[in-house]
Structure 1
Amino acid sequence: MTRTALVAGATGLVGGFLLKRLLDAPTYDRVVVITRRSVGLSHPKLIEIVTDFETLELALAKSAIHADDAFCALGTTIRKAGSQPAFHRVDFDYVVNFARAAKASGATRFLLVSAIGASARSSIFYSRVKGEAEDAVAALGFEAAHIFRPGLILGERGDRRPAEAAMMGAMPFLNPLLVGPAKIYRGIPADTVAAAMVAAAASSARGRIVHTYASMASLAQA
């Protein structure tokens, strides 16, 4: 049986690797990307829906595409967004809009890239928004809602992030020191997160499943 994957955030670091893996996966005969700009790829499986994320529910409904699994790698930083409200729009509003649209299109699994420390009860704005988005997605009633909480995501980004670049350089030395409960804070390659998402979509798990470093590494190797 062939399936259709629905993807948001394909132009980002994790999303770029995720898109390539989905296009290579024999599980899917169609990969539908919801995007504000073209991903710049040509592939027999690939379908692009270029739309504003404010109106993506309407755009997806008009396309009449039936989805099976929805993958969300949307995300920004407060610095890049420019303000807390702008960050909230991307990391909460757009994520939840996409999840609603995916559910309406028939998706039964939703796979979301979040962040370590995400909690709706956090006193840290970034972590609180991430946690609120997780809760809102899980409340939509997908058969399975896979939440991926990486620490520092390792990989080459299009934008300059000096602090992250410094941390990435230190991770080969820091990662071995992060053991036991601290293992969840290890840096993880973007492609490992992407591979774990594709593997999780093929599992029979149900309900809300949270993945941190160890489970993502294990899934990626499966």
Structure 2
Amino acid sequence: MKVLLFGATGMVGQGVLIECLRAADVSLVQSIGRTALDQQDAKLRDVVHRDLLDYSAIESQLEGFDACFFCLGVTSAGKTEADYAHLTYDITLAAANTLARLNPQMTFVYVSGAGTDSTEQDRSMWARVKGRTENALLKLPFKAAYMFRPGVIQPLHGVRSKTSSYQILYTLTRPLLPLLRAMLPATILTTEIMGQAMLAVARRGAAKPVLEAADINAIATTAG
């Protein structure tokens, strides 16, 4: 399996990359991002591309992939709806539209979030924008598309968040998260589970396109 990975420097993306490199059936992981990764692996190809709204210059490097794991995302804190929509909807759809045209056989997995509103009418700005993004992705002619809606995610294997406030929170709650996860395994996920579940749906699909935290946990558990 050949995998395209967006957002490999973020917390979820780091975890997904680890699982992809561990997977015996993944022959290539190609990262697309504005900055180079600080790691190397025989299965890893790092493509630095700064214009995330236009992929025409690298289209030849985006063909022949079986799956795309889109883990790129930003916090909505301090942003207007227009700014957040640009960074969430516009950038995601620019990549997805290109990939759907080049790889109709592809499974596309998008990291959304718990509380996303598919009706696009929610009072929370981020929930509306995420819902609009999900809806647009599900209309594209991919082999399959899955919207992952995690809530709390525990970083494992040295993974760190790029958002300083989140990393401080994870550091402070590190002793508690394993205990909470043991009590609420269907609510609190890990970066490892996210990666394993993405690989599982790329291999075998899932029963529905929108997957909440409990669904993600069940898929990863079954895959293991």
- The two structures have a TM-score, normalised by structure 2, of 0.82
- Partner Cα distance (2:39, 2:90) in 1: 27
Residue 163 to residue 128, structure 1, CA distance change in 2 (3 Å):
farther
What is the match of residue 88 of structure 2?
A: 91
Could you tell me which runs of 5 or more consecutive residues in structure 2 were left unpaired when the two chains were aligned: none
What is the match of residue 193 of structure 2?
A: 192
Which of residues 161, 165, 189 is equivalent to 1:161?
Answer: 165
1:82: Cα distance to partner? 4.3
Aligned-pair identity (%)? 26
1:158: Cα distance to partner? 3.0
SS in 2 for 1:146: strand
- Partner Cα distance (2:98, 2:54) in 1: 10
Residues 55-92 of structure 1 show CA distances to partners (whole Å, capped at 9, x for unaligned) of 23x1331436321111101110123x744323212211
SS in 2 for 1:103: helix
Q: Is the 8 A contact 2:114 2:213 kept in 1?
A: no
- The amino acid that maps onto 1:201 is A
- The amino acid that maps onto 1:196 is A
1:191: Cα distance to partner? 2.2
Residues 89-122 of structure 1 show CA distances to partners (whole Å, capped at 9, x for unaligned) of 2211111112112212214211111101111232
Could you tell me which runs of 5 or more consecutive residues in structure 1 were left unpaired when the two chains were aligned: none
Root mean square deviation of aligned Cα: 2.7
Higher relative contact order (CA 8 A, sep 6+): 2
Q: Is the 8 A contact 1:115 1:149 kept in 2?
A: yes
What is the match of residue 113 of structure 2?
A: 115
Would you say how many aligned residue pairs link Structure 1 and Structure 2? 212
- Partner Cα distance (1:140, 1:31) in 2: 23
1:39: Cα distance to partner? 1.4
Residues 22-75 of structure 1 show CA distances to partners (whole Å, capped at 9, x for unaligned) of 12222221211111111122122222221120223x133143632111110111
What is the match of residue 55 of structure 1?
A: 54
What is the match of residue 41 of structure 1?
A: 39
Q: Is the 8 A contact 1:144 1:205 kept in 2?
A: no
1:198: Cα distance to partner? 1.2
Residues 165-212 of structure 1 show CA distances to partners (whole Å, capped at 9, x for unaligned) of 18973656766786xxxx87x332222212211111111447x52211
1:127: Cα distance to partner? 0.6
What is the match of residue 127 of structure 1?
A: 127
Residue 24 to residue 174, structure 1, CA distance change in 2 (3 Å):
closer
- The amino acid that maps onto 1:11 is T
